[in-house]
Structures are given as structure tokens and as C-alpha cells.
Amino acid sequence: MPRGRSYCFERLKSSRLCFQGLVVLAGLSVSFGQEPAAPASTGRLSAEEEKLELLDERLADLRHELETLDRRETSLLGELHRLDLEIRVAGDELERLKLRLDRGYRAMDENLKRIQVLEKSIDELQPYLQSRARSLYKLGRLSYVRLLLSVETPSELTRAYRYISRLAREDAEKMRVFLEDEKLLEQAKAELVVQTEAMLQMRKELEGTTRTLESRRASRRALLGEVYARQEMTGSLAHELEEAKEELGKLVESLAAGESAAGSVDLPMRMFEGEVGWPVEGELEARFGTQLHPRFKTVTVRNGIEIDAPVGTPVQAVYEGQVVYASWFQGYGKLLILQHTGSVHSLYGYLSDFQVEVGARVARGAPIARVGDTGSLEGPRLYFEIRAQGKPEDPEKWLDPARRLAGREPVN
């Protein structure tokens, strides 16, 4: 008759007298000798969920805007706008994939740790169960009953019964844990296979999205290179920029006519002319006023200034006010406009994203957006204007010169 380990375990599992009450409890997750796994950081998971939801919403908006653009006749600025949107879509998709990959890797790590704990628990239980199986097999089907019958004096029967009952319960519990751990181990290994396949697929998506992002950026650079190389395209783009400037002036006039900072107790911004803090630290790249465009070689009137700063740099409100515009505006990319007391507006362009919504009241120095390169022809920077009674004024006359970051000479 075979006496191997598997046969002994089958004898253990089938003996009702030896293992009364042996059941596998549904949903049991804590194994014998296993410390409960530390819960994942609730705060981190919550922040990730919020970020993923925000990315999903932003991607839906961007794709909708792309669909709208595809149905319109596009100009050079429109084409740059479309490429900017495609770059943002690819960038957001890349960020979302990186978040999902990070979560996936953490889940795999937790699963691997769980597998290691289960394997250790099984390895620790096997020698004991093998030994007990051999002992019980030698005693036969009525193992514990025979032990009770082997007691010689009736006075020791109660003590022997308690000991044997405890021993039977311990054997049954360890066998239950062993079987449960084996089941959980099989499930964990199967889950690990699924996780690995999913991660490999996400890695492929990540690589594809990265290539798409680089392709869109290359297309934008190529378009600008073609514009600068061909005189007729340069003139066309310069003309479109002038039209965009006029449209921006009309927008500010309509905002000034239709909006009011009702209930505001702010002092008029004009009182602080020359003392207002800069919206972002950086080198001044372009000044206000009439100048020769360095690329188009055309005389233009610049209504604002441009400040060099890395993408993602926080942009601050230069004065207390209300957000009256926060959207894409052709020629200026993502544009935010604040209305201040005294019929003054401050404008912030080329942004990467907004930190506030239309209608919000913001304090002086509050973060309102982040630096980007949307709409910019020269790379990451902030476009900044100040308009009083709808007319553009030199922002440097408003901003405190002591707060300006020293740097190289600005482009004139």
C-alpha cells in the first residue's frame, strides 16, 4: 500500500473523526504565521484617482476641440493650434499611462510579496503535517479514539479528552490554513500572469504614445521652420498675428463692458502702478511697444511683454481680481484674463494649464496658472499684458523693478 505524502494528506483530509469541523472559510485572508499586509496609502490612491479623473476630463475636452477644428478651414495659426492640441493630447495620454503603469507595478510588487509569504507559510507547515500524517496513518482511521481508549485510569480520561480535542483542533486548523494558503497561492500566481500581460500591453502603448508625442512636436517645429524659410508664409503669419491682436482687444473691451467686480473692496490697481509684483520670475525676452520682429523682419506693435520661464512654472496674479476669461485664444494659446478695480485687466498667455476657473476671486500673488508654450512661436514663456480702460499699457511701468529677476539683455 502506498505511503507517500499525497496519500497521507488524503487520509488526513478524509478522516472525519480526526478533523471534525475542518472547513475552508470563505473570504479568509490571513494565513497561519502570516502578518496582515499593510494597507496601501489611502491618501496617495485618492490623489491618483483625482488626477486620473482630471486627465480623463481634460482629454475629452481636447479631443472635442480637435474634432471642431477638423471641421473648420485652418489658417497657419489654426494649424499651429491643432498641433498644440495634438501635443497636449499625447502628453496627457502619456501622463495617464505613466500613472497606470506606476499603480500596476505597485500591485505586482504587493502580489509578489503575498506569494512569498504564502510560500513561506506552506513550507513551514509541510514538515509538521507530514509528521502528523505519518503518525495518524499508523494509528488508522480511529486515531484519536484509540488514543482515548489507551488511557488506563478513568480519572485521566477527562484530561486526555481535553488534550486530544485540543490536538485535533490544532491539526484541523493547520490543515485548513495549509489548504487555504495553497488555494490563495494559485490565485496569486494566476493574477500575476494577468498583471504581467497587462503591464506589457501598457508598455507598448506608452512607447507608441511617446513616439506620437515626438512626431507632433517635430511637425510643429517643421511648420515653423517652413514659415521662417518662406517669405510669403512669414508675411501671412505676421498678418494673422496682427488680426489675433485686434481680436484680443475686442475681447477685452467686451469683458470690460459686460463684467463688473461687484462687491469688491479692492483699492484701484492704478494706485499701485510701479509697485505690482511680477507674474513669474524669469528673463525679459520681449518688451512692449513698436519693434522689428526678429524673425518676420516686420515692424510690429507689441502690446505686452514676454518672460522666459520653464514649462510648469507657477504664474501668480499681479493684483487682486476676478477671473473673467480662461480659455484658448488664437495667437496666444491658453489665455487667462483677470479684471481688477479701476477698469484694469491683466492678461496671461502661452499657458500650459489653468489653476482657477472663470468667476473665481483671486488674491494678489495667488497661483492662477502654469507657464507653457501653447501659441508661442519661440518656446516656453509667459506672455503678459496690462490694459487700462481697454487700452494696452507698458507692463514694466506697472511692475516693481526691484522684483525683476536679473538676466541677459531682453530682445528688442
C-beta separation of 165 from 63 below 8 A = no
Phi, psi of 278 (to 5 degrees): -75, 150
* Three-state DSSP class for residue 313: coil
Contact residues for 405 (Cβ-Cβ < 8 A; gap 6+): 278, 281, 282, 283
Residue 1 has pLDDT above 50, yes or no: no
pLDDT confidence bin for 155, thresholds 50/70/90: low
Same domain, yes or no: 108 and 161: yes
In a domain, 250, yes or no: no
Among the ranges given (18-22, 194-198, 262-266), the one the predictor scored with the smallest mean pLDDT: 18-22
Domain boundary among 198, 226, 254: 226
Considering the domain architecture, whether residues 48 and 179 belong to the same structural domain is answered as: yes
Q: How far apart are CA 215 and CA 224, in angstroms?
A: 14
Question: Is residue 254 a part of any domain in this protein?
Answer: no
Per-residue pLDDT tens over the stretch 127-141: 877 776 666 555 555
In a domain, 183, yes or no: yes
Residues 273 and 195 in one domain: no
Examine the domain organization and report whether 56 and 205 are in the same domain.
Answer: yes
Residues 144, 68 share a domain? yes
CA angle 20, 21, 26 (to 5 degrees): 150
Residue 39 lies in a domain: yes
Q: Report the chain's mean pLDDT, rounded to a whole number.
A: 77
Q: How far apart (Å, rounded) are the C-alpha atoms in residues 369 and 266?
A: 22
Closest CA to 356 of 376, 334, 331, 333: 334
The residue out of 194, 226, 258 marking a domain boundary is 226
Torsion angles phi and psi, residue 306, rounded to 5: -125, 130
**In which band, very low, low, confident or very high, does the pLDDT at 324 lie, cut at 50, 70 and 90?**
very high
> pLDDT tens-digit profile of 36-50?
444 545 666 778 888
In a domain, 261, yes or no: no
DSSP summary character for residue 137: H
| Position 19 confidence tier, pLDDT thresholds 50, 70, 90 | very low
Amino acid at 155: S
H runs (alpha helix) in 230-281:
231-258
Do 289 and 410 contact (CB within 8 A), yes or no?
Answer: no
Would you give the distance in Å from CA 144 to the centre of its chain?
A: 61
Residue in 320, 316, 338 with CA at minimum distance from that of residue 267 = 320
Q: Strands, E, within 169-282: which ranges?
A: none
Residues 191 and 297 in one domain: no
| Same domain, residue pair 214 and 314 | no
Residue 202 neighbours by CB under 8 Å, 6+ apart: 97, 100, 101, 104
User: What does R_g of the chain's alpha carbons equal in angstroms?
Assistant: 36
The reply to whether 251 falls in a domain is no
Please indicate, yes or no, whether residues 191 and 60 belong to a single structural domain of this protein: yes
pLDDT value, residue 232: 67
Least confident range of 16-30, 215-229, 374-388: 16-30
Average pLDDT over residues 91-104: 89
As a whole-number percent, the residues of the chain with pLDDT over 90 amount to 19
Q: Which of 127-131, 134-138, 144-148, 401-405 has the lowest mean pLDDT?
A: 144-148
**Overall average pLDDT of the 267-289 stretch:** 86
* Range from 80-89, 165-174, 283-292, 339-348 carrying the lowest mean pLDDT: 165-174
Same domain, 217 and 277: no
Position 320 pLDDT exceeds 50: yes
What is the reported pLDDT for 148?
A: 55
412 located within any domain: no
Residue 343 has pLDDT above 70, yes or no: yes
Relative to beta strand 381-388, strand 367-371 is: unpaired
Contact 221, 83 (CB under 8 A): no
Q: What is the pLDDT of residues 167-223, one digit of tens each?
A: 677 777 888 888 888 888 888 888 888 888 988 898 999 899 899 889 988 888 888
Q: What is the CATH number of the domain that holds 385?
A: 2.70.70.10
213 lies in the same domain as 294: no
Gap between the Cα atoms of 92 and 70, Å rounded: 20
Grid cell, residue 317, equals 496674479
- The conformation of residue 38, written as its DSSP 8-state character, comes to P
Q: Are 345 and 339 in contact (CB under 8 A)?
A: yes
294 and 359 co-located in one domain: yes
Segment among 42-46, 136-140, 253-257, 288-292 with least mean pLDDT: 136-140
Is 398 within the bounds of a domain?
yes
Q: Packing angle between helix 42-70 and helix 76-139, nearest 10 degrees?
A: 140
Task: Decide which of 103 and 146 is more confident.
Answer: 103
**273 shares a domain with 187:** no
Domain region containing 207 = 5-226
Overall domain count for the chain: 2
